[in-house]
Amino acid sequence: MLLLFAGLTAVSAVTAKGQCVDAAREGALAAARGDSGAAAASRVAPSGAEVRVGPDGDMVTVLVRAQVRLLGAHLPAISVEATAVAAREPDVADGTP
């Protein structure tokens, strides 16, 4: 039974990691176009995930972090995260819409 719970937790962690990767990529692409990167990432991210968007000059970095519960709610959670970086579009980098 313990092996089953461990396997289900691993599947949940891998699924959450994939969702974080997708959310970070979507957020970085949206922010690079001048849209709201946080809103785009939040639509794809797992529920309760933390989304951070940081401009780095001509680049945009998006970090998505989510908690995955181990074997139920009584044990500590593990954190999965993903980061994506995208170059700003030329019109956005100049500050023109």
The domain in which residue 33 lies consists of 2-93
Given phi > 0 = left and psi -120 to 50 = alpha, else beta, which region is 34? left
pLDDT at 71: 67
- The helix (H) or strand (E) run that includes residue 31 is helix 2-33
Cα torsion through 65, 40, 28, 32, rounded to 10: -150
Residue 69 pLDDT greater than 90, yes or no: no
pLDDT tier, 49 (very low <50, low <70, confident <90, very high otherwise): very high
**For residue 66, which amino acid is it?**
A
What is the number of other CB atoms lying within 10 angstroms of the CB of residue 72? 8
This prediction's pTM: 0.83
pLDDT at 96: 40
**For residue 86, which amino acid is it?**
A
Number of domains composing the chain: 1
